[in-house]
């Protein structure tokens, strides 16, 4: 019986492709070991492997089946939309966390730059010249950190908008 699934599939395909209206399809192995598919009963002495009973469906049954398929498709699509909205919310939360970390880092760099410039301004003129490059580098790093923080905030806002839109689409489609 290990090969009944392919035989069953073949029998259904045969039934559907030839337009048979048989009440049942017999699958049997004859005395020579050949597997046969037929709409007639298996001959005596043949080893019956399977009998597929077929009930002809009415147009109403077919429409009902189509409606169930459509309902299942819509439900699956709704589940996919919910999953996508959940992923977008998670992505927005990660982007927000990253933006917060970038903001903290930018504030620390700006504070360090301000402190260095404060110390730098208190030094004598000759000492200030030696520290000018370092002061510019620190200011540039602080500005870069601020730019990264602003970009992270923009990404977080964009992710939150996508998540909000996805949630709105779900609530609109359920109404």
* pLDDT tens for each residue of 151-163: 888 988 888 888 8
Please give the pLDDT value at position 52.
78
Helix (H, G, I), strand (E, B) or coil at 22: coil
Classify residue 95 by burial, with Cβ atoms within 10 Å: 0-12, 13-18, 19+.
buried
Residues of the chain scoring pLDDT < 50: 1, 19-20, 22
Q: Max Cα separation, the chain?
A: 116
- pLDDT of amino acid 75: 93
Residue 25: in which H helix or E strand, if any? strand 24-29
> Position of tokens 């609109």?
172
Alpha helices in the chain, H assignment, sequence order: 4-18, 59-122, 125-174
d(CA 116, CA 122): 10
User: What is the pLDDT at residue 2?
Assistant: 52
pLDDT at 83: 92
Tokens for 46, please give them. Answer: 């043949």
């Amino acid at each position: 019986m290990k090969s009944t699934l392919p035989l069953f599939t073949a029998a259904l395909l045969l039934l559907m492709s030839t337009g048979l209206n048989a009440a049942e399809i017999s699958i049997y192995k004859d005395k020579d070991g050949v597997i046969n598919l037929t709409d007639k009963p298996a001959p005596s002495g043949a080893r019956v492997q399977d009998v597929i009973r077929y009930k002809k469906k009415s147009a109403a049954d077919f429409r009902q089946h189509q409606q169930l398929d459509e309902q299942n498709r819509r439900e699956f699509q709704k589940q996919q939309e919910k999953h996508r909205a959940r992923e977008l919310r998670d992505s927005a939360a990660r982007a927000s966390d990253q933006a917060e970390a970038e903001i903290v880092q930018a504030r620390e760099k700006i504070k360090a730059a301000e402190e260095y410039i404060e110390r730098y301004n208190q030094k004598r003129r000759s000492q200030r010249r030696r520290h000018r490059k370092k002061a510019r580098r620190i200011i540039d790093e602080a500005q870069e950190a601020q730019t990264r923080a602003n970009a992270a905030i923009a990404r977080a806002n964009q992710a939150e908008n996508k998540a909000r839109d996805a949630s709105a689409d779900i609530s609109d489609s359920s109404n």
